[in-house]
């Protein structure tokens, strides 16, 4: 990584060959320019702002001192000499002075008898038009449509806004966050139950999440605008941002916060959107945890979930140029972090890959800033690609056409445009004069090596499936009598012995019948004693009644005894539905005779039942008929890899899985059909493959979910990636996937 010594070995020259063009001019800073002093880490910087156009120029302390010497009477050369005399070794170089003058002139922040460069006026106009176009089109990816100027309204409510963004409100906000967090922790099972429903991505859930997302984004942008006004800035524009020309999102222009002298004010404006969003998410959490209305609870849950996900993945993450990025830049004192990181990696590429000598490295403050810029540049682009792919996957699950359009836009922006820029640089950059052939050879070697590596060199290949650990022998736990489950007498997942009570059932009708029959039996016994003193006929009649009632009492007693369900053999007690919490939730539920409520499974012999999706089964087994072994990892001990032998393959696929714990509604990865009211029909067919572990004594338990890996013949990575992409879109288009090989 880059260290400070690199920049110390190549100091910027003091004198410039272009100095003669500006030395005799007498410009001065325009009187309408606002200058703000800022702390950026250990350094001091000055921000020059044009209030009319909201253009900003960042100046170093020495450059600002030089510009301050220009009063319209001194020449540029005289001002520079005066700066050198007073600042000594900290004085700006002629190159730095020219850059400062050019930046100020570019935005019309200098006045004088003559412009510094006549051709710069036309360039400034062209750049202004290009800047406005880029601002509205966002490089043809983010189209902004201004709607309203909220500043007059914000000015009217500014006193209330200053109260909202005070220290006391921060304390209240923290308290509300603590309450919401406590409610989530106390209802963690409900949180995950709702999350399983979200993962099914049915249309109703997607629609509700979209509404919550749009409302939260509007609140988020209002938070930025209100915080900017409360801190003394202005917000002159709110509107809609069309991502890819399709997805509308609100936005606001809070760029006036860039000139705030205090770092904490700039950080507050950057964080205000998240804080306001999380405030409403906390309120939604309280509503979700306390309301009894299912519709209100569902919407509140989606507000809570969407706010959390967008905050973690987008807003607070500095790798995307959103709130977290500006907060990191201000807190680290590293302005323009993204562009400077790109310049750093460009310098490293030119200097150490292409071997260009004498190029000037980008300016950094110290080694820590160099590390920050290097790490940020290395991580930001892959993360943006990852987020883009995830958005495409989610959108294409519901709207395939929109997903394909977004995928095309991402492909163009992330691959085509950089490649075209790279070709333009290789062909036309003046830096490569005399070294162009060498540069082409180096780049060609790298690309050729990558092509060979991805397209020709075999790499380990695998096929994956989800499954569960199942016992090879198990005895059912069935209810003998109808009634209500009143108590679990054995903990689900625990080891039980033969005859041990498992759960208690209560049937008030049967208990009442037993009591009534016992009362009749007692009366019959009294009548039997009285009949002994009478005739033999009376005695025989009373005896028959007594025997009938005795038999009936025994039957009722047997029924009542069967209300305690016991284990038929030694083993582990698990739920019939594969979820132990299902048994825990069964207390109070009505059960009918013969209903299967669980299993007692033996642990001395288990089998892993894998469910291979249709689009993978043909590739795994049709092309690898000799495949006899597989490896697997179980949930809860993913660090341990177990191996086993494939003992059975079901030749026909089914649109269902026997273990409901594998479906997305129960936290698994198998997607079910949203139109199926039972939630058991899967979106694609699955083939069952059974694997017997090599080690019979491995520490796994029936019912645990497993991830199964089938080791396939090595093949190039490019072919593997193409096959995955082809199958993904082929399955979404409703066509059978064609093998890429």
Contacts 24+ apart (CB under 8 A), 395-403: 396/729, 396/732, 397/201, 397/732, 398/201, 398/203, 398/206, 400/732, 400/733, 402/246, 403/732
Distance CA 258, CA 58 (A): 10
pTM of the model: 0.72
Look at residue 40 in the predicted model and tell me its pLDDT.
82
Look at residue 732 in the predicted model and tell me its pLDDT.
60
Compute CA distances 335 → 2, 135, 268, 718, whole Å.
19, 20, 16, 39
Specify which of 325-329, 678-682, 729-733 reaches the highest per-range mean pLDDT.
Answer: 325-329
Select the more confidently predicted residue: 507 or 67.
Answer: 67
pLDDT tens, position by position, 77-124: 999 999 999 988 889 999 899 999 988 888 788 887 655 555 555 665
pLDDT tens, position by position, 680-692: 788 788 888 888 8
pLDDT mean over 442-461: 90
Distance CA 23, CA 579 (A): 81
pLDDT confidence tier of residue 239, bands split at 50, 70 and 90: confident
Look at residue 124 in the predicted model and tell me its pLDDT.
59
Contacts 24+ apart (CB under 8 A), 643-647: 643/693, 643/694, 644/608, 644/691, 644/692, 644/693, 644/694, 645/691, 645/692, 645/694, 646/689, 646/690, 646/691, 647/607, 647/690, 647/691, 647/692
Q: Which helix (H) or strand (E) holds 607?
A: strand 606-613
* Res 58 pLDDT > 50: yes
Asked if residue 655 lies in contact with residue 684, where contact means CB atoms within 8 angstroms, the answer is yes
Distance from the Cα of residue 435 to its chain's centroid: 44
Residues of the chain with CATH 3.90.930: 9-117
pLDDT tens, position by position, 601-649: 776 678 888 898 887 887 788 766 678 888 888 887 777 888 888 888 8
pLDDT tens, position by position, 517-559: 777 777 777 777 777 777 777 777 777 777 777 777 777 776 7
Average confidence score pLDDT of the chain: 81
Nearest C-alpha neighbor of 53 from the set 125, 138, 137, 111: 125
HEC per residue, 399-462: CHHHHHHHHHHHHHHHHHHHHHHHHHHHHHCHHHCCCHHHHHHHHHHHHHHHHHHHHCCCEEEE
Q: Which helix (H) or strand (E) holds 226?
A: helix 203-230
Q: Which two tokens stand for residue 32?
A: 């309408």
DSSP state of 52: T
Burial (CB count <10 Å: 0-12, 13-18, 19+), residue 573: buried
644: Cβ–Cβ under 8 A, 6 or more apart, which residues?
Answer: 608, 629, 630, 631, 632, 691, 692, 693, 694
Look at residue 635 in the predicted model and tell me its pLDDT.
82
Select the more confidently predicted residue: 738 or 410.
Answer: 410
Look at residue 696 in the predicted model and tell me its pLDDT.
67
| Torsion sign, CA atoms 230, 231, 235, 241 | negative
* Res 10 pLDDT > 80: no
pLDDT tens, position by position, 275-284: 999 999 999 9
pLDDT tens, position by position, 470-483: 877 777 888 877 87
Distance CA 614, CA 687 (A): 7
Q: Which two tokens stand for residue 446?
A: 């790298």
φ, ψ dihedrals at 687, nearest 5°: -105, 140
* Res 267 pLDDT > 90: yes
Q: Which two tokens stand for residue 334?
A: 């590293």
Look at residue 739 in the predicted model and tell me its pLDDT.
42
Half-sphere exposure of 672 (CA within 13 A, CB side): 24
Distance CA 244, CA 693 (A): 50
Look at residue 118 in the predicted model and tell me its pLDDT.
56
Distance CA 493, CA 579 (A): 10
pLDDT tens, position by position, 155-172: 999 999 999 999 999 999
Q: Which two tokens stand for residue 391?
A: 């958005």
pLDDT tens, position by position, 178-215: 999 999 888 887 777 666 666 555 666 777 778 888 88
* Res 345 pLDDT > 90: yes
Name the one residue in this structure whose structure tokens are 């980008």: 362
Give me the CATH code for the 474-599 domain, please: 2.40.50.100
Specify which of 9-23, 112-126, 552-566, 701-715 reaches the highest per-range mean pLDDT.
Answer: 701-715
* Res 737 pLDDT > 50: no
Asked if residue 718 lies in contact with residue 455, where contact means CB atoms within 8 angstroms, the answer is yes
Hey, how many other C-beta atoms are within 10 angstroms of the C-beta on 483?
A: 23
Look at residue 363 in the predicted model and tell me its pLDDT.
83
At 634, is the secondary structure helix, strand, or coil?
A: strand
pLDDT tens, position by position, 308-327: 888 887 888 898 888 899 99
Look at residue 15 in the predicted model and tell me its pLDDT.
84
Residues of the chain with CATH 2.40.50.100: 474-599
At 650, is the secondary structure helix, strand, or coil?
A: coil
Which option is the CATH number for 9-117: 3.90.930, 1.20.120, 1.10.1740, 3.30.70? 3.90.930
Look at residue 65 in the predicted model and tell me its pLDDT.
93
Give me the CATH code for the 465-471+602-732 domain, please: 2.40.30.170
Name the one residue in this structure whose structure tokens are 């003669």: 20
* Res 741 pLDDT > 50: no
How many helices (H) and strands (E) the chain has is answered by 23, 22
């Amino acid at each position: 990584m880059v260290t400070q010594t690199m920049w110390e070995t190549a100091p910027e020259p003091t004198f410039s060959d272009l100095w003669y063009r500006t030395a005799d001019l007498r410009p001065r800073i325009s009187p309408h320019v606002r200058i703000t002093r800022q702390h950026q880490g250990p350094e001091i910087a000055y921000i020059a702002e044009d209030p009319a156009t909201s253009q900003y120029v960042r100046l170093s302390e020495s450059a600002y001192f030089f510009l301050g010497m220009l009063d319209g009477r001194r020449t540029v050369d005289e001002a520079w000499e005066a700066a050198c005399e007073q600042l000594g070794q900290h004085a700006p170089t002629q190159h730095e002075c020219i850059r400062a003058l050019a930046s100020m002139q570019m935005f019309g922040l200098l006045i004088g008898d003559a412009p510094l460069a006549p051709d710069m006026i036309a360039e400034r106009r062209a750049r202004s038009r290009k800047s406005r176009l880029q601002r509205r089109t966002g490089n043809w990816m983010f189209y902004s449509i201004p709607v309203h100027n909220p500043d007059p309204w914000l000015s009217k409510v500014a006193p209330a806004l200053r109260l909202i963004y005070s220290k006391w409100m921060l304390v209240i906000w923290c308290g509300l966050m603590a309450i919401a967090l406590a409610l989530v922790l106390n209802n963690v099972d409900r949180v995950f139950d709702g999350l399983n429903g979200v993962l099914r991505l049915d249309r109703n859930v997607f629609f509700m999440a979209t509404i919550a997302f749009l409302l939260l984004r509007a609140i988020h942008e209002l938070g930025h605008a209100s915080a900017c006004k409360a801190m003394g800035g202005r917000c002159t524009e709110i509107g809609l941002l069309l991502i890819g020309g399709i997805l509308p999102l609100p936005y606001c222009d809070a760029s006036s916060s860039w000139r705030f002298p205090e770092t904490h004010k700039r950080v507050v404006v950057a964080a205000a959107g998240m804080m306001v969003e999380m405030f409403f998410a906390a309120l939604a959490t309280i509503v979700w945890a306390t309301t009894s209305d299912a519709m209100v609870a569902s919407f509140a849950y989606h507000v809570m979930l969407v706010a959390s996900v967008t905050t973690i993945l987008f807003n607070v993450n500095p790798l995307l140029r959103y709130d977290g990025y500006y907060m990191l830049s201000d807190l680290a004192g590293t302005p323009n972090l993204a562009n400077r990181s790109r310049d750093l990696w460009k310098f490293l590429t030119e200097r150490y890959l292409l071997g260009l000598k004498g190029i000037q490295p980008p300016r950094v403050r110290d080694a820590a800033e160099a590390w920050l810029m290097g790490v940020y540049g290395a991580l930001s682009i892959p993360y943006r690609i990852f987020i883009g792919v995830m958005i495409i996957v989610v959108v294409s699950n519901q709207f395939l056409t929109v997903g394909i359009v977004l995928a095309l836009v991402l492909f163009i922006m992330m691959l085509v445009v950089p490649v075209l820029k790279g070709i333009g640089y290789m062909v036309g950059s003046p830096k490569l004069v005399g070294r162009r052939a060498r540069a082409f050879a180096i780049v060609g070697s790298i690309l050729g090596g990558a092509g060979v590596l991805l397209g020709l060199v075999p790499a380990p290949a695998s096929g994956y499936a989800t499954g569960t650990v199942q016992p090879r022998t198990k005895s059912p736990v069935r209810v003998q009598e109808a009634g209500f489950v009143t108590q679990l007498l054995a903990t689900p997942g625990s080891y039980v012995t033969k005859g041990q009570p498992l759960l208690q059932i209560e049937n008030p009708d049967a208990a009442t019948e037993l009591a009534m029959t016992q009362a009749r039996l007692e009366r019959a016994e009294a009548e039997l004693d009285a009949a002994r003193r009478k005739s033999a006929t009376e005695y025989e009649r009373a005896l028959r009644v007594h025997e009938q009632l005795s038999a009936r009492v025994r039957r009722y007693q047997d029924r009542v005894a069967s209300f305690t369900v016991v284990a038929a053999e030694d083993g582990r007690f698990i739920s019939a539905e594969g979820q132990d919490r299902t048994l825990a939730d069964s207390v109070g539920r009505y059960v009918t005779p013969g209903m299967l409520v669980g299993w007692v499974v033996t642990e001395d012999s288990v089998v892993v039942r894998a469910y291979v999706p249709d689009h993978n089964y043909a590739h795994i087994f049709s092309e690898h008929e000799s495949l006899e072994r597989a490896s697997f990892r179980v949930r809860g001990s993913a660090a341990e890899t177990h191996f086993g032998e494939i003992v059975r393959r079901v030749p026909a696929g089914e649109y269902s899985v026997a273990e409901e714990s594998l479906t997305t509604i129960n936290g698994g990865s198998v997607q079910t059909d949203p139109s199926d009211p039972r939630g058991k029909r899967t979106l694609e067919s699955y083939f069952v493959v059974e694997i017997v572990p090599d080690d019979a004594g491995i520490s796994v338990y029936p019912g645990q979910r497993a991830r199964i890996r089938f080791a396939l013949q090595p093949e190039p990575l490019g072919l593997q990636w193409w096959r995955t992409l082809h199958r993904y879109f082929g399955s979404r288009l409703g066509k059978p996937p064609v093998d890429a090989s």
